[in-house]
Structure 1
Amino acid sequence: MIPEDLINVVKQALREDIGSGDLTAALIPEAQTLKARIISREPGVLCGQPYATATFAALSKQLKLHWEVAEGSAVAADQVLCHLEGPARALLSAERCALNFLQTLSGTATAVHHFVELLKGSRTRLLDTRKTIPGLRQAQKYAVRVGGGHNHRLGLFDGILIKENHIAACGGITAALSAARSLAPALTRTEIEVENLEQLEEALVAGADMVLLDNFGLESLRQAVQRVAGKIPLEASGNMGLHNIAAVAATGVDFISVGSLTRNLQSLDLSLRYF
């Protein structure tokens, strides 16, 4: 599903880049046209086509784009991803914003894909977090889906996740879950973070819908899975990386959340070349 804020995000990106006008593009005759290609400089997963397409379209309806690969496809180094043709001024003015979207979202999708590959053969699903670039929350969560991952909460409004600071402010796990049951809108899932097996037991007795196991060791994760026995979903989180995600999945947890998917961003190297 394409994010509902896509057009507004694209408009904002163009506003901050072009401002009152592209002074350099104005040097080029208004009637001049150009042809260009977008090329990958390294392997990865392509993501962000709707954003790039909308960026170019916002500056000229005469711009023509032809994508050579589908959204979410694996791409190789030096592969041609897209052909473009149209007014030179519009192409040059939109170039940086379009590439920023493609590089950022492809980098996110590529990172997610690496994790998903390590989860193959397990029942564990990969989740993102709210650790996103301000203004690009929906875009990055879209990239997570394109890369094969799953979205956790979009924001603070579509789910309750009671973390350690909430627990402390409420006066404990039982008190926090009691408040959630009293105040939460109907059908809202209530998840709570626990730091040890004793807290897990309290959360289960207090009626949590889902539990986040924060920084549990592998043996503690196995014990937690055995104790819960599939009654509610369990999410493992904290210091998750490519080095340990397969071992964590092998404990039997339902979900693993990884903040680095959208926080420690490594953009995919792409370029646009005119000819």
Structure 2
Amino acid sequence: MFNWTLIDQIIINGLKEDINNIDITTDNLINDESISEAYMMVKEDGVIAGLSVAKRVFNIIDNKINVTFNVKDGDEVKKGTKIAYIKGKTKSILKGERLALNLLQRMSGIASISRKYKELVKDYPVRIVDTRKTTPGLRILEKYAVRIGGCHNHRYNLSDAVMIKDNHIKATGGIKEAISKIKDKIPHTIKVEVEVDSIEGLKEAIKAGADIVMLDNMGFKEMEKAVEIAASRVILEASGGITIDTLVDIAKTGVDVISIGALTHSVKSMDISLNIY
């Protein structure tokens, strides 16, 4: 599921950020022998994602902490559901609490909104994908949460695929020039995506050999025309300012993919608490 080497580094960096030297409160209040039991409870409805990551936080701090779950990633949960139980040294639980919750809450918030988007277009043959508008350092976790919610991933980073955007086109001298130049330099296994903002740009990108064309901030009627012109010769991706209110109308145009930065860049974290009992 995860490259744990990368995840562990995220967690270790998070712990370094949260505990500079000692936990001045916990280390001076709680003795080393104290054992506690705690539970995590969701305080709003949503979709859970990141349970194994939260568990990993506690186990990096103390590998003797026992964490068990009542749910699994992808489950829809109701407010008040106890999703996990934790038992171990009180000090260790308190030191891991904040980071474990921060990651779990963030990932669950992303999974929850992704599920809403997916359900809205379930009757249309379109794929909802994320973007690179992620929290620096957390991309692998946030893109995982998107998948748990039922949507899909766009490229992970700039090395994954060619995407020729408006500034590339301006700097190169045009769509045809950009596609020709990039195809001369990349392996045949790499697809080329080009961003356009007009029907004329779409026609030029198709003629020049693009594999995917991103329709940037086009209106519904213009997208419908683009679908007709493309005639399945290229994958069409709608992008730019897409909201939950416009999603279905865009899906109805017949585009293949809808990319939505809001899946990760402006998500509200799910409210989850940890309570010792």
Please give the TM-score of this superposition, normalised by the length of structure 1: 0.98
Query: Which residue of the other structure, out of 201, 225, 228, is the alignment partner of 1:223?
Result: 225
Partner AA of 1:24 in structure 2: T
Partner AA of 2:50 in structure 1: G
- Deviations, residues 115-172 of structure 1 (Å, cap 9, x unaligned): 0010111110001000000111111111111111111010000101111001000001
Describe how 1:80-119 pairs up with structure 2 within 5 A.
80-119=82-121
Measure the CA separation in 2 of the matches of 1:147 and 1:2: 16
Residue 10 of structure 1 is matched in structure 2 by: 11
Residue 214 of structure 2 is matched in structure 1 by: 212
Contact map agreement 1:190 1:210 (CA 8 A) in 2? yes
Residue 242 of structure 2 is matched in structure 1 by: 240
What is the DSSP-based 3-state SS (H/G/I as helix, E as strand, rest coil) of the residue aligned with 1:183? coil
* Residues 221 and 234 of structure 1: CA distance in aligned 2, closer, same or farther (over 3 Å): same
Residue 138 of structure 1 is matched in structure 2 by: 140
Could you list the structure 1 runs, at least 4 aligned residues long, displaced by more than 6 angstroms after superposition. none
Residue 59 of structure 1 is matched in structure 2 by: 61
Residue 163 of structure 1 is matched in structure 2 by: 165
What is the DSSP-based 3-state SS (H/G/I as helix, E as strand, rest coil) of the residue aligned with 2:184? helix
- Deviations, residues 91-124 of structure 1 (Å, cap 9, x unaligned): 0000000000000100111111110010111110
What is the DSSP-based 3-state SS (H/G/I as helix, E as strand, rest coil) of the residue aligned with 1:184? coil
Partner AA of 2:105 in structure 1: Q
Question: How much has 1:269 moved relative to structure 2?
Answer: 0.4
Question: How much has 1:61 moved relative to structure 2?
Answer: 1.4
Contact map agreement 1:128 1:258 (CA 8 A) in 2? yes
Structure 2 residue 266 is matched with structure 1 residue 264: yes
Please give the TM-score of this superposition, normalised by the length of structure 2: 0.97
Partner AA of 1:2 in structure 2: F
Residue 21 of structure 1 is matched in structure 2 by: 22
What is the DSSP-based 3-state SS (H/G/I as helix, E as strand, rest coil) of the residue aligned with 2:85? strand
Residue 79 of structure 2 is matched in structure 1 by: 77
Measure the CA separation in 1 of the matches of 2:52 and 2:173: 46
Structure 2 residue 200 is matched with structure 1 residue 198: yes
Question: How much has 1:185 moved relative to structure 2?
Answer: 2.9
Measure the CA separation in 2 of the matches of 1:241 and 1:75: 24
Contact map agreement 1:163 1:192 (CA 8 A) in 2? yes
Measure the CA separation in 1 of the matches of 2:138 and 2:187: 27
Partner AA of 2:73 in structure 1: E
Query: Which residue of the other structure, out of 43, 46, 57, is the alignment partner of 2:45?
Result: 43
CA RMSD, Structure 1 to Structure 2 (Å): 0.9
What is the DSSP-based 3-state SS (H/G/I as helix, E as strand, rest coil) of the residue aligned with 1:191? strand
Measure the CA separation in 1 of the matches of 2:39 and 2:266: 28
Measure the CA separation in 2 of the matches of 1:70 and 1:104: 16
What is the DSSP-based 3-state SS (H/G/I as helix, E as strand, rest coil) of the residue aligned with 1:213? strand
Measure the CA separation in 2 of the matches of 1:228 and 1:101: 41
Measure the CA separation in 2 of the matches of 1:3 and 1:161: 26
- Deviations, residues 61-81 of structure 1 (Å, cap 9, x unaligned): 111111000111101001100
Measure the CA separation in 1 of the matches of 2:267 and 2:211: 31
Partner AA of 2:44 in structure 1: E
Measure the CA separation in 1 of the matches of 2:3 and 2:124: 29
Residue 175 of structure 2 is matched in structure 1 by: 173
Question: How much has 1:180 moved relative to structure 2?
Answer: 1.2
Which consecutive residues of structure 1, in runs of 5 or more, have no partner in the other structure?
Answer: none
Size of the alignment, in residue pairs? 275
Measure the CA separation in 1 of the matches of 2:159 and 2:2: 20
Question: How much has 1:3 moved relative to structure 2?
Answer: 4.4
Partner AA of 2:186 in structure 1: A
